[in-house]
A = this chain, B = another copy of it.
């Protein structure tokens, strides 16, 4: 496409890709900047030209994914369908998204607790907003009678979101199921758990 000239950001992309890969395989802490630079075929100096810090790298990896997740949830939540239907769609959409972006989400889940400073706080606030949207949908379901009331919406939201975000600790450990199949099974399990009890 862009022909002979160096594509803008080529180095940056390679760094991001290498970091994602290494972080996912070895963990954030066990991966050094030197190793990232080597894997990206870039000098350490170049790495610091493009990114402020190692933390910044991790934040960049997650930021776009979170924005996309948030956008998708927002558009589903704002739809016209009955709340039960929207909840169902939101859950399935999330497991789909997670299955697609397995590696970078693993990285984030494992290492977010190591980050501090302003940019880290900002993205955690974004993440909190995502959670609130999800909880809002559940609360709406509770008001409409589609979702049980004896469990707090917050616990339900955290429970499911936490499960999904931690699939990496066990996925592939046993069984032949694909990411997507596992996701769908978790989704029905959760959705059935939400139904109001008999009496």
Contact = CB atoms under 8 A, between A and B. Distances in A.
Given A114-B27, A192-B195, A193-B189, A154 B166 contact: no
A81 interface: no
Contacts of A155: 175, 177, 182, 185-186, 189
A29 interface: yes
Interface of A: 27, 29-30, 109-110, 113-114, 128, 148, 150-152, 154-156, 158-159, 161-163, 165-167, 169-170, 173-175, 177, 182, 185-186, 188-195, 197
Contacts of A195: 192
A132 B57 CA distance: 38
7 nearest A-B residue pairs (beta carbon) = A193-B193, A158-B170, A151-B185, A189-B193, A163-B163, A155-B185, A162-B166
